[in-house]
Structure 1
Amino acid sequence: MLLERLSIIEARYVDYSNNPFDSDIAHDLRVSIRELRGLLNFIKPIIGEETYDTMNAPLREAAQVFGPIRELDVLTEFTEEVALEQPDLSEYFYDAFNLLGKERRKEMRRTFNVTNVELVKDALTITKETLEELELDKDFDWDKYVAKRLEKKNDKLQKAYEEVDLEDYETVHDIRKDAKKNRYAAKYYKNITSIKTKPYKKAAEAIQDEFGEVTDAHVNYDLLTDFADQVEDKDVRELFYQIRDIAQEKIIVIE
């Protein structure tokens, strides 16, 4: 199953290499990497810290290559929503989208520089070699392990969710990442345990979706501030500040 998830990453990287302009392809690539990292994290106590780090560290670096692309895509989607909901807000939406497009193409080219291409390919090679050499005990009680670990991680996640201060963005972000890991584990390890994993998956998804709005709003706010500070045209700069204020209002409503 782990090798199958790796093969999906490889396929999606080919898709991205063929068409990096498609925001869905870029997103799917990052998700596929995140899924495998989450599945490896779930069995870290079994495979050991060293083996886990051998695969997780390069995969994390590979995912970071595409991080700015995803952030720009999320920001563009938010700007599109604002433009549709408030078309009379400004006469300079075209200029704003043009600037966002130029910035994305710059980041897109960065993902294809020699260093980043080698980094991604090395990560996939190292992970594949490590997985192929990995020996997992078939006689191990995987059923019990998955059930016990899912329950423990779910209890921890729910406790963190109930106690978190929504204004503490960093903690909200960490909880969302934990929710993703739980969702992936419940989804992909369900075939080796007798318990019903769907409730764990649904609970994690609910937290991920809710905190995703908080995370996206914060990221959009910061990016819009950066764009506004760098734009020379005062009218376009003012539009980015206006969109940023809308993002800020979204944060307040959510929190």
Structure 2
Amino acid sequence: MVETLVLVRHAKAQKRVEGLDDIDRKLTLAGRRSFETTATQAFSYFAKTDRKDMQIWTSPARRARQTAKIVGRVLKIEYGSIHDSIYADTPDQLVEELKQAEGCVIVVGHNPVLQDILTTLSGNEHAFGKAAVAVLGNIEPDFSHADLLWFAQGPESSRWKVLTKLEDVTVAAGMRIANNYQAMLDNPYDEEALHQYRISLRSARSLLAFIEPYQKLKQNRNIEHLLKRLQDDTSDLREYDMLCKTIAKQEAKLVLESMEKFGSPTGSNAFPRLAEAAKRQRDEERLRYSNRMAKASTRKLVEEASDELINTEWRSDVEIEGISREDIRDRFETMRRKYLKILAHTDFEDHEETHILRKRAKRLRYISKELSSLLGADHARMTSDMKAVQDQLGDICDARNNQRIVNKLLPKHGKAALRQEATAFLGTQRAAEKLAVAELKNMEDKLKAAPSAPQPEQQSEM
């Protein structure tokens, strides 16, 4: 008869949903990963045991068969045989089959059958959670009693559920970069295509900053280096696009003011020569940029960055322990507090300090968007409050960039009429910068007074 009986409940599986037969429910990614990570320790009782007489019996249910395969890999024994009795509502038939077996039998199955057998043999109630392992010996021939030799409760799969969600986000980030890069190649003169490509790069860099404590450092640094090279390559074209848009907006604003004052659009085409000079430079830069983007070396950078994001490597302790929702929220709160500290000490007259603060504000917004399901509504609302600050920082930086580019254009296109237009336009940008700085200072106290997000209770998994 059986000398040793090992009971193993299947790992965390899909929830019951209409249209999916119970027998077809499979392990969730978090369930599989959590058991794969902890199974070696769970079966350490057999570390020095001769395993030639071991056999695995499994329920026909897909989730049990998947769990049994993991057990087989850990113990380095045959996958085993399927027994319908393990999937039954009562343990009676399974017990009769076990009475006829020999050696060590590992039964991978379900509650309440496994729970009933464990309670009957050990004489005590034991919470037998998902992926739990119980080893019983000295079994009475009539299966009325046995000694509980080893017990390992199953892992809490929620920590791997969070890690799996992070992986989903990094995979999506890698795919977006590749797709947006191709879209930009297909439409080199589409400003929106460039905009979406830049967003995908910036969003991915924000994610990298967030997951740095959890990711293998070498890979994190490598991906950041690749993405920075790709984003830096877009900067000049983006700035010329922004200048052309700002000139058009200023002309539209003057037209509106003219209509209100004089009833006619006397302010239209207020900067025709400047607009033409900016457009000419933008088109030249777009051609240079398109040629750079089409090079095999650039495609290789994009492919490498995308592949690395899709195949994110985690630190060994993260692989073993997973990540909790509290870890994610604490990490975000730490980054937010650091941002607020920098905000409190930023000199908005300093171009570099303002630019750095803007990048940090963008980073928090991208992270909040990508990880909204993990951070919760309170963090999302706090980040929404910061949007107005980021917009003002953007207005400041754009106005300063516009001034810098226009001053750079003048030596190339230095006619008197153009200089007159440039002088007028520069005045509008200095005024816009001054207004944005004043509004930002008014908003600063409100943002610094925002409370930390409450920590919601941990949601249990069923």
TM-score (norm 2): 0.51
Q: 1:90 to 1:199 in 2, by over 3 A?
A: closer
Decide whether the 8 Å contact of 1:150 with 1:200 is kept in 2.
no
Is 1:42 matched with 2:210?
Answer: yes
Letter in 2 for 1:158: L
Which residue of the partner structure matches residue 54 of structure 1?
Answer: 222
Residue 132 of structure 1: CA displacement? 4.2
- For residue 24 of structure 2, what is the aligned residue in structure 1? none
Contact 1:169 1:215 in 2 (8 A): yes
- Checking the alignment, whether the CA contact within 8 Å between 2:237 and 2:282 is kept in structure 1 is yes
What is the letter of the counterpart of residue 370 of structure 2?
Y
Deviations 1:40-73 (A, max 9, x none): 1101111133211111111111111111111011
* The one of 268, 281, 289 aligned to 1:103: 281
Aligned equivalents of 1:56 and 1:15: distance in 2?
22
- The SS at the match of 1:197 is helix
Correspondence 1:8-47 to 2 at 5 A: 8-47=176-215
Paired residue for 1:173?
355
Higher Cα Rg, which structure: 2
Structure 1 residues 2 and 91, CA, compared in 2 at 3 Å: closer, same or farther? closer
In structure 1, runs of 5+ residues without a counterpart are none
2:323 matches 1:127: no
Q: Is the 8 A contact 1:5 1:32 kept in 2?
A: yes
Question: CA separation in 2, counterparts of 1:132 and 1:33?
Answer: 14
Map 1:136-175 onto structure 2 (within 5 A): 136=314, 137=319, 139-175=321-357
Residue identity in the other structure for 2:339: L
Does the 8 Å CA contact 1:214/1:254 hold for their aligned counterparts? yes
Q: Which has the higher helix share?
A: 1
Is it true that 1:209 corresponds to 2:367 in the alignment? no
- CA gap 1:91/1:74 in 2 versus in 1, 3 angstroms: closer
Question: Does structure 2 retain, via aligned residues, the 8 Å contact 1:95–1:236?
Answer: yes
Q: Distance in 1 between matches of 2:254 and 2:312?
A: 55
Which is bigger in relative contact order (C-alpha 8 A, separation at least 6)?
A: 1
Q: 2: distance between equivalents of 1:119 and 1:79?
A: 35
Contact map agreement 1:92 1:235 (CA 8 A) in 2: no
1:18 Cα shift?
Answer: 2.0
Identity %: 20
Residues 140 and 77 from structure 1, CA distance in 2 versus in 1: closer, same or farther, beyond 3 angstroms?
same
Structure 2 unaligned blocks of 5 or more: 1-168, 256-265, 438-462
Alignment partner for residue 401 of structure 2, among 212, 219, 222?
A: 219
Paired amino acid for 2:426:
R
Paired with 1:91 and 1:158, the residues of 2 have a C-alpha distance of 42
Match in the other structure for 1:5: 173
User: What's the secondary structure of 2:410's corresponding residue?
Assistant: helix
Kindly tell me: are residues 124 and 234 of structure 1, through their superposed partners in 2, closer, same or farther at Cα, counting changes over 3 Å? same
Letter in 2 for 1:8: R
More displaced, 37-46 or 233-242? Answer: 233-242
Return the letter of the residue paired with 1:247: Q
How many Å separate the matches in 2 of 1:26 and 1:148?
34
Q: CA deviation at 1:133?
A: 3.9
Q: Given that residues 172 and 310 in structure 2 are in contact (C-alpha distance below 8 angstroms), is that contact kept between their aligned partners in structure 1? A: no
CA spacing shift, 1:159–1:14, aligned 2, 3 Å: same
Q: In the alignment, which residue of structure 1 is the partner of 2:68?
A: none
RMSD: 2.3
**CA distance change for structure 1 residues 133 and 81 in 2, over 3 Å: closer, same or farther?**
closer
Residue in structure 2 matched with residue 85 of structure 1 by the alignment: 253
Which deviations, in whole Å up to 9, do the C-alpha atoms of 1:150-206 show, x marking residues without a partner?
111111112222332211121111011011111111111233356743134214423
Instruction: Answer whether contact 2:244 2:275 (CA < 8 A) is retained.
Output: yes
Which of 232, 235, 242 aligns to 2:424? It is: 242
Letter in 2 for 1:94: P
Task: Tell me the number of residue pairs that the alignment of Structure 1 and Structure 2 aligns.
Answer: 255
Cα 1:140/1:148, change in 2 over 3 Å = same
- C-alpha displacement at 1:142, in angstroms? 3.4
CA distance in 1, matches of 2:310, 2:221: 16
Separation in 1, partners of 2:223, 2:352: 25
Q: Partner residue of 1:232? A: 414
TM-score where L is the length of structure 1: 0.90
